[in-house]
Amino acid sequence: MKIMVLGGDGYCGWPTSLHLSDGGHEVVIVDSFVRRQIDHELGVQSLTPVADLRERLRAWREVGGGHIDLEVGDLLDWEFLSGAVRRHRPDAVVHFAEQRSAPYSMIGRRHAVYTQHNNVLGTLNLLFALREFAPDCHLVKLGTMGEYGTPNIDIEEGFIEIEHNGRRDRLPFPKQPGSFYHLSKVHDSHNVDFACRIWGLGATDLNQGIVYGTVTPQTERDPRLVNRFDYDEVWGTVLNRFCIQAAIGHPMTVYGTGGQTRGFLDIRDTVRCVELAILNPAEAGEFRVFNQFTEEFNLAELAGMVGEAAGELGISTRVEHTPNPRVEAEDHYYNARHTRLLDIGLEPHYLNESLLDSLLNIALLHRDRVDPAAVNPRVDWRTGQRPAPQNGDLSPAEPRAGRTGARTGP
């Protein structure tokens, strides 16, 4: 198939692009590099040294991975996006091209506005581009389990059967998002569902849990293909933060009681889930939802697992509970269904099998690159926080009509 991967330079997009290319698909990466720009704004960097995208693509060709096309531009730029879809006429589009950090969206007004404008309007542009130039294309959209929140009932996969006053219906599962970022994903879900119902598009919404790991069979082939490892308090996941703290001898900082429970999955399962969704597409007019995770853990359990794995390497760790900067339930019921991807062939990797090789050993290998101050929480959900500009304020300032200067080719 011809597959466009929007946000193909990012943490999920890059290994997905390699995985699909390795499977024989014709891959086109679309990216604006805004994620790299935000690193400069916040004064942070990936733990792993990430090569320039063109160097990455060159390395992929040199190890026999084949050619991946590149389109540089922004989804907010209608002329760029519609032109790219019209030129390539993809069979499938994988949409990772969104601001993905909940803490970033909670820094303040500007960051909240940027997040929702970028995510919601970029996706809306994409829907119109597909309707006009690739109506048979299957959209695989990355959602998030954070759309659901932590309800005191079982979480279904996207929809729930409701009986009310003697009548029954199948309705979208209630959403209780916990940040302006998660709210943008809820808006996306409603827009994509609407486009499928009204225009007959076919879409799969992958409500993904927290992803961990940096290693896939493709990224291991050359050091220039290495994936991101974000550990700072804005972009890094809790698991990455614990591993970094263990590697540098810092206490593992658990927010609040540590009872917060979430779904988790290995990056190798992320790329496989995307592939399975593409190979088993939604029907025309169908909006379907898969809950994309393999295991559930709370923060205290994660800290215990990291501590145990670190002990196998001779590293002593301890846990330190800190005030929770987020507004969230710290002890709650959590039982989310996640069977639909298993039904179409997912064979999961599990954290206890991946913790050393894909996380702790990489944290130890690159621990000289760690900035300990970047791990400490500064973004408070209640009051927000404005980061000091780094090398000038290079952040995405206010919503714009889109960035121009699109280029094609590697």
Active-site positions read: 144, 181, 185
Pairing type for strands 407-408 and 261-266 reads: unpaired
Q: Which amino acid is at 316?
A: S
CA separation for the pair 95, 410 (Å, rounded): 20
The token pair at 372 is: 């300990």
Please choose, from the candidates 143, 189, 188, 140, the residue with its C-alpha nearest in 3D space to the C-alpha of residue 1: 140
Find where tokens 């499977």 sit.
Answer: 23
Separation between Cα atoms, residue 317 and residue 49, nearest integer Å: 26
**Cβ(105)–Cβ(111) under 8 Å?**
yes
Answer whether 348's CB lies under 8 Å from 261's CB: no
Is residue 163 exposed (0-12), middle (13-18) or buried (19+ Cβ within 10 Å)?
Answer: exposed
Beta bridge partners, 295, equal: 264
Residues 199/135, Cβ–Cβ less than 8 Å: yes
Distance of CA 41 to the CA centre of its chain: 20
Nearest to 99 by CA among 81, 70, 120: 120
Using the 8-state DSSP alphabet, how is residue 218 labeled? Answer: T
Contact by Cβ (8 Å): 124, 38: no
